[in-house]
Structure 1
Amino acid sequence: MNKKNPFSDLTGKSTEELAQMEVDLAAKRFTLRFQNALGQVENTAEIRKTRRELARVKTALKIKLSQ
Structure 2
Amino acid sequence: MAKKATAKTSKGATTNAASELKTKTPDQLRDSLIALKKEAFNLRFQQATGQLENTARMRSVRRDVARIMTVLNQKAAEAAIAN
- Give TM-score scaled by structure 2 length: 0.73
Distance 2:34 2:45 in 1: 17
Matched, 1:58 2:60: no
| Higher-strand-fraction structure | 2
CA RMSD, Structure 1 to Structure 2 (Å):
1.5
CA drift at 1:65: 1.2
Structure 2, unpaired ranges of 5+: 6-16, 79-83
Distance 1:21 1:32 in 2: 16
Q: Which residue of 2 aligns with 1:18?
A: 29
Distance 1:33 1:24 in 2: 14
- Give TM-score scaled by structure 1 length: 0.89
Q: Which structure's CA Rg is the greater one?
A: 2
Greater relative CO, 1 or 2 (CA 8 Å, sep 6+): 1
- Name segments (4+ residues, structure 1) moved above 6 Å: none
CA drift at 1:2: 2.1
SS of the residue corresponding to residue 42 of structure 1 reads: coil
Structure 1, unpaired ranges of 5+: none
Identity of aligned residues (%): 38
